[in-house]
Amino acid sequence: MPADNALLAAGAGVACCGPAAYLLGPWLMRRIPEPSLEEDETKIPYADLAGRRAAYWCGLLAAVSGGLLGWALGTSPVLVAWLLLVVVGAVLGYIDARTRYLPSAIIWPSYVLVGLALLGAAVVSGEWGSFRRAVLAGVIGFAVFYVLWFVFPRGVGFGDVRLSGLLGLALGWLGWGEFITGLYGGFFLGAVVGIGLIVAKVMTRKQMVPFGPFMLIGALGGVLLGGPLAKLYVG
């Protein structure tokens, strides 16, 4: 069911997020520092990704996601935080899909941007309970993924840990149903796909599935489906 002013918000999401990610993606890829690699590790340099292909993909992913989120959230004050996350997420998802790395130089500043946008939403709407839940959800998401990384570092990268806190922060504002569906649904989706690729012999057990794109898809699914699923479960 569309939110209030859904069409207006969806149009704003497409118009703002698509061009922003189209321009920002390649610009960031040319400037973010390369990670320190182990002796047996290799990766595509970020700067080598910064071409027209990256711009098109980032712009397309952000436009579609921004439109869907605008339709789901309407012109609520929290929409600003989610549109910021859409732009960042499109760039991060593309980078992770191509390199299997989630650069901290993008993720850590995004905590500040999204956190300030949520704080602004709380000031405007007076929903301080939602803000407190967002902070708590961000901490829980980070902590759970940290444990997963500590126990199974071959399956979960520390970039996924950093991303989990950011996604948990935004999902937590919307509710616990959105948080659980969005964050952990994306993780399990990635795990199922990874196991499927190993069974199909497309990948080996030593290769690592980039979880970032699945986590981002899961977060989008959490916004769209988390509330209805939570009501269905409780009901």
Domain ranges of the chain: 6-234
Say which DSSP state 147 is in. Answer: H
User: pTM to 2 decimals?
Assistant: 0.92
Confidence category of residue 4, pLDDT binned at 50, 70, 90: confident
Looking at residue 59, its amino acid is G
Q: What is the pLDDT of residues 113-160, one digit of tens each?
A: 999 999 999 999 999 999 999 999 999 999 999 998 999 877 788 999
Q: Element (H or E) spanning 191, and its range?
A: helix 185-199
Torsion over CA: 62, 68, 71, 73 (sign): negative
Contact 44, 110 (CB under 8 A): no
Residue-wise over 135-171: b if at least 16 C-beta within 10 A, else e?
Answer: bebbebbbebbbebbeeeeebbbebbbbbbbbbbbbb
DSSP 180: I
